[in-house]
Amino acid sequence: MQSVLRLTAARGRPLYALVLAVVGVLLMAYTVVVSTEANAAVTLLSQGKPVTASSVENAGTPATAAVDGNTGTRWSSAAADPQWIQVDLGATATLSQVVLRWEAAYATAFQIQTSANGTSWTSVYSTTTSTGGVQTLNVTGSGRYVRMYGTARATGYGYSLWEFQVYGEIGGGTGCGTTNVAQGKPATASSVENAGTPASAAVDGNTGTRWSSAFADPQWLQIDLGVATPICQIILTWEGAYATAYQIQVSTNASTWTSVWSTTTGTGGTTTINASASARYVRIYMTARATGYGYSLWEVAVRSGTPTSPSTQPSPSASPSPSTSPGGPIQGGGSLGPNVKVFDPSMSGATIQSQVDAVFNQMESDQFGAGRYVLAFKPGTYSGFNAQIGFYTSIVGLGQNPTDVRINGDVTVDAGWFQGNATQNFWRSAENLSIYPSAGFTRWAVSQAAPFRRMDIHGDLNLAPNGYGWASGGYIADSRVSGAVGPYSQQQWYTRDSQIGSWVNGVWNMVFSGVVGAPATGFPNPVYTTLNNTPLSREKPYLYLDSGGNYRVFVPSLRTNARGISWASGATPGTSLPLTSFYVAKPGDTAARINQALAQGLHLLFTPGIYHIDGTINVNRADTVVLGIGYATIIPDNGVVAMRVADVDGVKIAGVLFDAGTVNSPVLLELGPSNSSASHAANPTSISDVFFRIGGAHPGKATTSLVVNSDNVIIDHIWAWRGDHGAGIGWTVNTADQGVIVNGDNVLATGLFVEHYQKYNVVWNGQGGRTIFFQNELPYDPPNQAAYMNGSTRGYAAYKVADSVTSHEAWGLGVYCYFNVDPTIHAARGIETPNNPNVRFHSISTVSLGGNGVIDNVINTTGGPAQGTATVPSTVTNYP
């Protein structure tokens, strides 16, 4: 980015009261499921029982591994159909649920069958559209033997299960009744947040109403059952503002209380607690909050009877909530948290306006604040509002396709907060919406880390701020604009796999690949570089609602030689994953817990917030999806590597901001270990909208932001930024050598933004690499030339291809200098590369911004110096 003015950002906190009803709409989608299924018996019958299978892949994947309670071991079959795995429960059982924890090689068609003798089988569940992950199946039936009978595989491999869990009752059962004896009974509380969240709402049987307290500790909610009642189970359905520490207390007189259960590690969601007592009054006594808000419960259910044991046990129902037992399996799914604001077509434009304004008023100028938000719109038509988008805010449609959500109104980014200068409009996004703008155009005046994906604009798209102040370049993908796209004052821009009516102009570097309607290549005048197709692309995974109102994540398929939008002929091709196959992480989660969830076979979704981690997150399973929403931010403490990915196929990482901690990390994100060698050509790992920050919010340090060791990786839109303004900024303060090092072969980068690193910003060691669009500024702050030397060479190139590389190609590269501490500093070259006919560069610009420093040559010793206050680019069209 081009501006170096220091900011004093206005800090604020969410106007929580304005959005409670919205969060209620979001959570209702799964709490209804919880309330209707919480009666399922909770006894796990299958663990450790005798098990057999039709086949095993090898000695390391026996049938016993599926019932050993270890989510790091698995059974896998031969690669043929059909296959089965069966467990002997030892006695006839009444069954309530079966939980299948699939490895990547799952069944698309299978049955759950029961038998009294292991010979004659009855089907109690069947499907032909399974999507794998963690599947929780409510079943009705009985038998001594239970088996999964698979008839169609999702992959070319066999069937593979981390765990095969059967729940139910042997003999007479638990004796715990199914009636909620608390429903409709008198309820009181220590406080209420407002008149709309009374204590009675937690026992009214309506999962769309809730009790919430004042923002203080401790708080309590108490229920009068009317008479002394034998109590066996309490089920708490938490809203996003849950308790981490609380007790279940009982009393005969509402004066003297006895604790029958307690925890200091509550995880929210739906918690099922087995507790033996006889009492008239039941109280939830809460002492520590998970958020800065109060406590909030959708429902409290109390069951009467004799419990199985006086201990907590996670419900195996389809409730999307984490386990309350730290030693047991972690459940998938869960609340998306209070900072995901969900809108419904029934809401008026005025209501929506007030709520989006509340977020924008906090986030408009809060460049380095802690707020993180998603504005999410359910499928339907909306009218009469202008959603202005500030920092760390994502506006998204929850349809499967952009046309599922129509906004007759505006989605706007402008730069009034910064006097009409948009060069610092970072960290915000728009996705999956159809916009019919009120003035005939949509304004999206952004710079780095502000993707515009899967957008359908019925009119023009203006990429400049009001008044046409400077903007520093951005990114569009998989979008359609019926009218003209006007970059105006944008210095550079990259558009991929889209459709536009026309393109108005360009300043220095406009790059297109796979764009219908793009202008022809004319570089350097006009400044267009156009590739007819994108050689390889995979769109970013995204959250949506299915026809039943359930949250799912859609994972688009790989495209080869892509051109135009992926949804031109209907739904984008790809795979849909239920939210229950994801560990839904929340701020405060540890790396150990996240790794446990990943080891179980869950995908990973980071809800909006800031995550301090004291260990490396390890992604070891092929095809794992790691999705952040609302600019979820990971800060590695104590110098750890934030995330490592194994050398496996098809991992997708998207929507995450890695923010270096105050102790130096050697790497923030590593794709593949250093000895990676496997080919992933058929199913590459991809990263999309993944951002890195060194300093700005605090004095961060990391030697390298991104290291790519695996082959065939797709790097689709990253911004790796060593901060030049904000907090913790200085040549010896926010230290960082390189932004990106690519060691893998056949790696493709589409939209590579890397800036201000102290040595080479990009180092490319792998063979067969390709980059479409590169944007860079050299570091602003070397104190003098002596501090910015590469041996005897003045400065470092922005983009370095190793001398050993014999094949490489790049299109549309811009390198700028702004040595504002010492404007006499020189950098010898913008690009440094071996001289080889198969190492080729196209459309390169170097620019000295206002004459603050000199770049002597564009590439190697070719291309004249970029210098002088006129800010005129020096260009090379093709090299060699």
Catalytic residues: 777
Report which of 758, 705, 697 is spatially closest to residue 427, judged by C-alpha positions: 697
Report which of 132, 153, 143, 139 is spatially closest to residue 84, judged by C-alpha positions: 153
Instruction: Match 């009068």 to its residue by tokens.
Output: 224
- How far CA 327 is from CA of 321, 605, 811, in Å, comes to 15, 21, 51
At 4 the three-state DSSP class reads coil
Q: Do residues 828 and 788 lie in contact, with contact meaning Cβ atoms separated by under 8 Å? A: no
At 199 the three-state DSSP class reads helix
At 722 the three-state DSSP class reads strand
For residue 826, report the phi and psi dihedrals to the nearest 5 degrees.
Answer: -115, 145
Report which of 154, 222, 237 is spatially closest to residue 182, judged by C-alpha positions: 222
Q: Which residues is 879 bridged to in the sheet?
A: 841
Before 673, cis peptide (omega within 30)? no
For residue 7 the two structure tokens come to: 């900011």
**Amino acid letter at 351?**
T
Report which of 593, 597, 592 is spatially closest to residue 582, judged by C-alpha positions: 597
Chain CA centroid to CA 128, Å: 29
Q: Do residues 833 and 871 lie in contact, with contact meaning Cβ atoms separated by under 8 Å? A: no
- How far CA 110 is from CA of 50, 155, 176, in Å, comes to 21, 14, 32
Q: Do residues 451 and 468 lie in contact, with contact meaning Cβ atoms separated by under 8 Å? A: no
| Cα–Cα distance, 387 to 368 (Å, whole number) | 21
Report which of 41, 165, 40 is spatially closest to residue 102, judged by C-alpha positions: 165
**Amino acid letter at 799?**
Y
Before 880, cis peptide (omega within 30)? yes
For residues 356, 359, 360, 363, the Cα torsion angle rounded to the nearest 10 degrees is -160
| Cα–Cα distance, 595 to 451 (Å, whole number) | 29
For residue 336 the two structure tokens come to: 């998306």
| Cα–Cα distance, 833 to 813 (Å, whole number) | 14
Report which of 335, 444, 333, 431 is spatially closest to residue 377, judged by C-alpha positions: 431
